[in-house]
Structure 1
Amino acid sequence: MRAYTKEFRYNIKLAVPVIMGMLGHTFVQLADNIMVGQLGTAELAAVSLGNSFVFIAMSLGIGFSTAITPLVAEADGAGNQADGKSALKHGLVLCTVLGLALFGVILLAKPLMYLMEQPPEVVELAIPYLDLVAFSLVPLIIFQAFKQFSEGLSQTKYPMYATILANVVNIVLNYLLIFGSLGFPEMGIVGAAIGTLASRFIMVAYLWYLLKRREKFRFYVTGFNFRKIERRVMDKIISLGFPSALQMFFEVAIFTSAIWLSGVLGKNAQAANQIALNLSSMTFMFGMGLGVAAMIRVGIQKGLRNFKELQRIAKSIFLLTFLLEIVFAALFLLGRHWFPSLYLDVDDVSNMADNTEVITLAGELLLVAAFFQISDGIQVVVLGALRGLQDVKIPTLITFIAYWGIGFPVMYYLGLKTDLESTGIWFGLLAGLSASAILLYIRFNYLTNKLIG
């Protein structure tokens, strides 16, 4: 046990800035949800519906960009600066093209909202919000390329600084534009979308500025020759990035399907689902951050070809994640009735019945979420370790089977065909995440034992 716990301090030191950065992305949504929730449950459901499309696209972009981290970490472990810069340059090109393509796909997909049996008032509110938030994917995915590069060099604090600045900008603009404060126009949820868009452009510009200022990074982030693009490097990033994007897509898509299935049950069920999902996303970011730490440390040990250490370090991160997620599970159990009340105006007499129903439903969902915290944390951190090993194809198949072969059928049947309704949908999420955690851990054990020989 001491062989694992002695790594906790360094793992935490490496992961905390990543977690703060990840929380920053989620905090943009948290701020939007809490501020928009003061307008009513229809507006909160509209933000949920609009973001469901963006989350699917974002999962592909962020998942794809993760290919940059293990390549940079391996190059750093081998002392090869040129390969690290090449990985960043080609990653930037691919992430920019992908961001623009995903923006276009979302615009083309908007009419689907009318065909999904969602509440009409929610769809009408969601469409103008979606236009602006979809465009914010372009700077967000470019930011991800710089972020994954920085993390590949074990420098995790600079993306955190940029994300904190973005959150400050977002909250200020939300305050001014959602409610029409200090003489600004009152724009409702469109104001929230403008805040998100502006904050993401500022975020990518500030991170590039921070990296350029430091002597250690200047070689990597300046003097790009974009005319010289190597097919070999492109193929390497795509071969790692595409399966990683699919892994994240399969997971985010099942959570998105929970939003859509909740919408079939009504606006209050959808609003409750959004509250529980937003809270779960906050704690999930701790697992994501530790998963990045696993990817970095495993990538470095792979570059050094020290496979016994690789396995020990990875398992220390798995244990740390397990202990942390138990704490979050306890918090969800204790605070499941109080947390949802933060999202709505409980003193609003005209919406009292709707708000009370949403808070009650969200509390029931958080009861299930308390248990899937553990599965969710373990599966994402093991997935990070497998990416560090540059093993992406079999894990992609595992995530597809877990979420869509097991999780989705359970959530569809229990949610729409039984009296469990919203709670049944979340039991399906629990089943999918637990299957993913178990199968991915078996895969990691098999691979590392084989490498150790």
Structure 2
Amino acid sequence: MFQQYTKEFTYNLKLSYPVILGMLGHTFVAFADNIMVGQLGTAELAAVSLGNSFVFIAMSLGIGFSTAITPLVAEADGAGDQAAGKNALKHGLVLCTLLGLSLFGVILLCKPLLYHMEQPPEVVELAIPYLELVAFSLVPLVMFQAFKQFSDGLSQTKYPMIATILANVVNISLNYLLIFGSFGFPKLGIVGAAIGTLASRVIMVAFIWFLLKQKKKFKVYVTHFNFKEIERKMMKKIISLGFPSALQMFFEVAIFTAAIWLSGVLGKNAQAANQIALNLSSMTFMVGMGLSVAAMVRVGNQKGLQNFRDLRRIAESIFFLTLLLEIVFAALFLMGRHWFPTIYLDVDDLMNQADNTEVIVVAAKLLLVAAFFQISDGLQVVVLGALRGLQDVRVPTLITFVAYWLIGFPISYYLGLFTDFGSTGIWIGLLSGLTASAVMLYIRFNYLTKKLIAN
């Protein structure tokens, strides 16, 4: 019985691994920042967490919106229509650049909110200059996403992966030089981390454009754009596909951001512990994201072939593979929950020993909850990918809103701030929202596929 599912595993992994590595690249930038900044102290780690909380919300909208480019380019490639593919990239690039600039502007306008969020004052003072630079890095990041989604649409997932690896090398090198003032460079602390992030993202978008321009197959797509000719119909098409996807990603990222803010109310150590658990969880989540892309592509293919029985079988094989992988991650979190937090902090620092010990204890409790929500989180994002493959975007957007904001957030808020659970209560709310999302999205997928098979 299982063989009908397991025989798809190899192809599913082959399709998803470059996407997983590319996504992990984005997360690894944050991982490197956190580990290096964590050596400065818990206040600095909490400040990076607070600054990034604003950026991650904006980033989710940019990345979610850019996914609209992939199916349009894939459709044009299948039809052998280069002009349509170039048109989708051109309009997508214009919209992504405008969106990146808009998100930067919105973050600058929201900056005064930091003073009214009951966050530790020393954390806010450190976070503001960091936030300004990292917010500007959204512009090249969202532009990079346009090229990435275009490349994915042509089934060439390795080029964005190469650009992301280069960005990581640049980011870590600049972090080392500028955070700690190595080799005669100025010691800039967390502002050095922000400069590293901004520079690496500018290089990333320039490098992917250069890479694609060098390849004969892509050169015609990525050169000689005529930006004077913008079609309203094409803009509307990208927006109608991109907007619901952006909202779905926004609803999930926003509840995790709310967890950062709620943790800040509990103090800098709770916020630093939350950042450690969140960073570790986001790395394993990228495996789910990669498999989600595989689900979207494969379900889309079967939908085009009108083969709905295979569509359901292939999608369920990806759900099953995801479940197995997430159980492995859950076991790793359970076994390593006391050791993982020590990677982020200087445990030999006697001056901050009390703070560091508290952060490690709280983070270990959060990783216990995170072990269980690995499974819910992975499954919900993969089922969401399958539904996008079916071009079902509106109802899943409503489901994600209900799961995270009507179920998950009230539980996080109440248990975190009004009971002795504290930080653990915030994460129990996250677990509840993710589980509700996974269950409701699967019910939706089950209903749609049974209906398609019956018809």
The change in CA–CA distance for 1:235 and 1:313 in structure 2 (over 3 A counts) is same
Q: Is 2:258 aligned against 1:257?
A: yes
Q: Is 2:245 aligned against 1:238?
A: no
CA distance in 1 between counterparts of 2:171 and 2:232 reads 39
CA distance in 1 between counterparts of 2:357 and 2:76 reads 55
The AA in structure 2 aligned to 1:125 is L
Q: How does 1:413-452 map to 2 (within 5 A)?
A: 413-452=414-453
Q: Offset at 1:26?
A: 0.4
**Gaps spanning 5+ residues in structure 1: where?**
none
The change in CA–CA distance for 1:252 and 1:192 in structure 2 (over 3 A counts) is same
Q: Offset at 1:25?
A: 0.3
The AA in structure 2 aligned to 1:217 is F
SS in 2 for 1:349: coil
Which residue of structure 1 lines up, in the alignment, with residue 346 of structure 2?
345
Which residue of structure 1 lines up, in the alignment, with residue 36 of structure 2?
35
Q: Which moved further from structure 2: 341-350 or 154-163?
A: 154-163
Q: Offset at 1:285?
A: 0.5
CA distance in 1 between counterparts of 2:69 and 2:91 reads 9
CA distance in 2 between counterparts of 1:304 and 1:224 reads 34
Q: Offset at 1:15?
A: 0.8
Residues 74 and 303 in structure 1, CA contact (< 8 A), matched pair in contact too = no
Q: How does 1:131-146 map to 2 (within 5 A)?
A: 131-146=132-147
Q: Offset at 1:275?
A: 0.3
Residues 69 and 296 in structure 1, CA contact (< 8 A), matched pair in contact too = no
The AA in structure 2 aligned to 1:238 is I
Q: Is 2:197 aligned against 1:196?
A: yes
Q: Offset at 1:154?
A: 1.8
Q: C-alpha offsets along residues 226-253 of structure 1, whole Å, 9 cap, x if unaligned?
A: 2222222211111111111010000000
Q: C-alpha offsets along residues 321-365 of structure 1, whole Å, 9 cap, x if unaligned?
A: 111000000000000000000000000000000000000000000
CA distance in 1 between counterparts of 2:96 and 2:192 reads 27
Q: C-alpha offsets along residues 28-82 of structure 1, whole Å, 9 cap, x if unaligned?
A: 0000000000000000000000000000000110010111122223333444433
SS in 2 for 1:250: helix
CA distance in 2 between counterparts of 1:211 and 1:163 reads 14
Which residue of structure 2 lines up, in the alignment, with residue 366 of structure 1?
367
The AA in structure 2 aligned to 1:346 is V
CA distance in 2 between counterparts of 1:313 and 1:206 reads 35
> What is the percentage of aligned positions where both structures have the same residue?
82
CA distance in 1 between counterparts of 2:236 and 2:444 reads 25
Which residue of structure 2 lines up, in the alignment, with residue 173 of structure 1?
174
The change in CA–CA distance for 1:189 and 1:103 in structure 2 (over 3 A counts) is same
Which residue of structure 1 lines up, in the alignment, with residue 388 of structure 2?
387
Which residue of structure 1 lines up, in the alignment, with residue 153 of structure 2?
152
Residues 74 and 302 in structure 1, CA contact (< 8 A), matched pair in contact too = no
Q: C-alpha offsets along residues 378-410 of structure 1, whole Å, 9 cap, x if unaligned?
A: 111111111122211111000000000100001
Q: How does 1:275-354 map to 2 (within 5 A)?
A: 275-354=276-355
The change in CA–CA distance for 1:78 and 1:437 in structure 2 (over 3 A counts) is farther
CA distance in 2 between counterparts of 1:135 and 1:276 reads 26
Q: Which moved further from structure 2: 302-311 or 5-14?
A: 302-311
Q: Is 2:72 aligned against 1:71?
A: yes
The AA in structure 2 aligned to 1:97 is L
Which residue of structure 2 lines up, in the alignment, with residue 161 of structure 1?
162
Residues 78 and 303 in structure 1, CA contact (< 8 A), matched pair in contact too = no
Instruction: Give the TM-score, by structure 1 length.
Output: 0.98
Q: Which moved further from structure 2: 397-406 or 296-305?
A: 296-305
Residues 77 and 304 in structure 1, CA contact (< 8 A), matched pair in contact too = no
The change in CA–CA distance for 1:385 and 1:76 in structure 2 (over 3 A counts) is farther
Q: Which moved further from structure 2: 227-236 or 368-377?
A: 227-236
CA distance in 2 between counterparts of 1:115 and 1:384 reads 37
Instruction: Give the TM-score, by structure 2 length.
Output: 0.98
CA distance in 1 between counterparts of 2:70 and 2:89 reads 9
Q: Is 2:390 aligned against 1:397?
A: no
Q: C-alpha offsets along residues 246-282 of structure 1, whole Å, 9 cap, x if unaligned?
A: 1000000000000000000000000000000000001
Q: Offset at 1:98?
A: 0.1
Give RMSD over aligned pairs: 1.1
Q: Which moved further from structure 2: 1-10 or 424-433?
A: 1-10
Residues 74 and 299 in structure 1, CA contact (< 8 A), matched pair in contact too = no
Q: Offset at 1:213?
A: 1.7
Which residue of structure 2 lines up, in the alignment, with residue 59 of structure 1?
60
The AA in structure 2 aligned to 1:134 is A
Which residue of structure 2 lines up, in the alignment, with residue 10 of structure 1?
11
Residues 38 and 343 in structure 1, CA contact (< 8 A), matched pair in contact too = yes
CA distance in 1 between counterparts of 2:348 and 2:174 reads 25
Residues 74 and 300 in structure 1, CA contact (< 8 A), matched pair in contact too = no
Q: C-alpha offsets along residues 76-124 of structure 1, whole Å, 9 cap, x if unaligned?
A: 3444433322221111111000000000000010000000000000000
CA distance in 2 between counterparts of 1:306 and 1:135 reads 45
CA distance in 1 between counterparts of 2:216 and 2:165 reads 23
Q: Offset at 1:418?
A: 0.5
Q: How does 1:103-142 map to 2 (within 5 A)?
A: 103-142=104-143
CA distance in 1 between counterparts of 2:348 and 2:192 reads 24
CA distance in 2 between counterparts of 1:303 and 1:84 reads 18
How many equivalent residue pairs? Answer: 453
CA distance in 2 between counterparts of 1:451 and 1:220 reads 36
**Gaps spanning 5+ residues in structure 2: where?**
none
Which residue of structure 2 lines up, in the alignment, with residue 185 of structure 1?
186
The AA in structure 2 aligned to 1:386 is L
SS in 1 for 2:230: coil
